């Protein structure tokens, strides 16, 4: 395995970590206005992710940094081509972060409702756009011989990519509802359980619709001679098992199953791409790969040494943070702000 492949795998791992952690984070934000019947409930819901939400976003920053350093041409083409979509995502994330910090600055119900809905929008929009982005990566976008994106913002909003966006929203909503079932107490935990039950079937339908559409819109399942292969099948089995565990109220195992679904689905997409990183819909020979979009071998060697030193430290610190804040939260645990 050469260093180009090593860094492609590492970027995949970083996105898996981001989708696993920020996935339930987005799901909690999407559910906030609907599961929180009063201000105290909504404060409890926010407190479940309060100590960790900003740390979860570090995975995205790290993934973006890894792409920039290891595959600069991929970074340049993707960020220029998806520029408007990424600006919309950034604005949504800014509104979400400010909402977490500002909602308790005033007791006025209108003030708090405003920030709660901004948290909702700041969770829904990125979840949708991440699905749209990944859908376009595997479907292909117009890239010319100079590795330049020559489409528009509307090119990205094709039916296949939008279907992937809706699938992302559904699985993140399901992931977040199960997380709240594990982290809350009493009536709120019961409402989270019912929300997980409601999200499960739409998630199954949308994800399986996306898989079927992928057979017609992409070469993801056939180009490697694996059709469909154990990893996509494992993702489907884990998603189906999630429903059974929810009905049995084994929320811990249900959370493991949604985590497996997200991880194996991400691996499926990157396997379908490899060794490409962006597919050209104009000419397959113009696609960006881990070789024509990469940094120099010396840069990759230096980055590998740095990653081997610091990645374990980051993993240990984040694991410790989740352990410290592992307990359930109820209305009685919330201070009045």
pLDDT digits (tens, 9 = 90+) for 252-295: 999 999 999 999 999 999 998 999 999 999 999 999 999 999 99
Is the pLDDT at 223 greater than 90, yes or no? no
Is the pLDDT at 336 greater than 70, yes or no? no
Contact present, 272 and 224 (Cβ < 8 Å): yes
Kindly state the average pLDDT of the residues 226-254. Answer: 91
Q: How far apart, in whole angstroms, are the C-alpha atoms of residue 233 and residue 58?
A: 30
Q: Check the CA dihedral 254-50-126-290 and report its sign.
A: negative
**Beta carbons within 8 Å of 70's beta carbon, 6+ residues apart:** 4, 7, 10, 11, 294, 295, 299, 300, 303
Whether the full predicted model's pTM is greater than 0.75, yes or no, is yes
Q: For the chain, what percent of residues have pLDDT higher than 70?
A: 97
Q: For the chain, what percent of residues have pLDDT higher than 90?
A: 75
pLDDT tens-digit readout, 295-319: 999 999 999 999 899 888 888 988 9
Kindly state the average pLDDT of the residues 102-130. Answer: 93
Q: How many CB atoms sit inside 10 A of residue 97's CB?
A: 16
Kindly state the average pLDDT of the residues 48-75. Answer: 91
pLDDT band at 224 (very low <50, low <70, confident <90, very high): low
pLDDT band at 226 (very low <50, low <70, confident <90, very high): low
Q: How far apart, in whole angstroms, are the C-alpha atoms of residue 44 and residue 21?
A: 19
| CA triple 154-151-277, angle to 5 deg | 105
As for how many domains the chain has, the answer is 1
Domain that holds residue 18: 3-333
Kindly state the average pLDDT of the residues 168-188. Answer: 95
**What pLDDT was estimated at residue 229?**
78
């Amino acid at each position: 395995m050469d260093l180009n492949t090593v860094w492609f795998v590492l970027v995949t791992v970083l996105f898996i970590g981001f989708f696993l952690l920020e996935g339930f984070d987005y799901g909690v934000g999407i559910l906030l206005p609907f599961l929180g019947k009063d201000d105290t409930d909504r404060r409890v819901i926010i407190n479940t992710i309060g100590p960790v939400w900003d740390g979860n976003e570090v995975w995205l920053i790290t993934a973006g940094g890894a792409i920039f350093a290891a595959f600069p041409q991929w970074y340049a083409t993707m960020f220029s081509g998806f520029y408007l979509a990424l600006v919309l995502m950034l604005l949504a994330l800014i509104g979400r972060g400010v909402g977490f910090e500002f909602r308790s600055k005033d007791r006025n119900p209108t003030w708090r409702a405003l920030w709660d809905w901004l948290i909702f929008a700041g969770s829904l929009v990125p979840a949708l756009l991440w699905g749209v982005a990944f859908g376009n990566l595997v479907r292909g976008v117009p890239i010319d011989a100079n590795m330049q994106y020559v489409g528009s913002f509307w090119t990205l909003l094709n039916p296949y990519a939008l279907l992937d966006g809706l699938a992302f929203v559904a699985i993140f909503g399901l992931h977040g509802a199960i997380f709240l079932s594990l982290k809350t107490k009493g009536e709120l935990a019961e409402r989270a359980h019912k929300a997980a039950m409601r999200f499960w079937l739409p998630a199954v339908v949308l994800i399986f619709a996306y898989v079927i559409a992928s057979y017609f819109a992409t070469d993801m399942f056939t180009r490697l001679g694996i059709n469909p292969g154990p990893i996509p099948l494992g993702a489907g089995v884990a998603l189906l098992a999630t429903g059974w565990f929810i009905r049995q109220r084994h929320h811990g195992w249900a959370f493991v199953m949604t985590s497996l679904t997200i991880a194996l689905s991400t691996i499926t997409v990157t396997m379908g791409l490899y060794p490409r990183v962006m597919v050209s819909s104009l000419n397959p020979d113009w696609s960006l790969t881990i070789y024509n979009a990469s940094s120099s071998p010396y840069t990759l060697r230096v980055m590998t040494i740095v990653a081997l030193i610091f990645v374990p430290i980051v993993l240990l610190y984040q694991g410790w943070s989740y352990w410290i804040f592992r307990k359930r939260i109820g209305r009685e645990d919330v201070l009045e702000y």
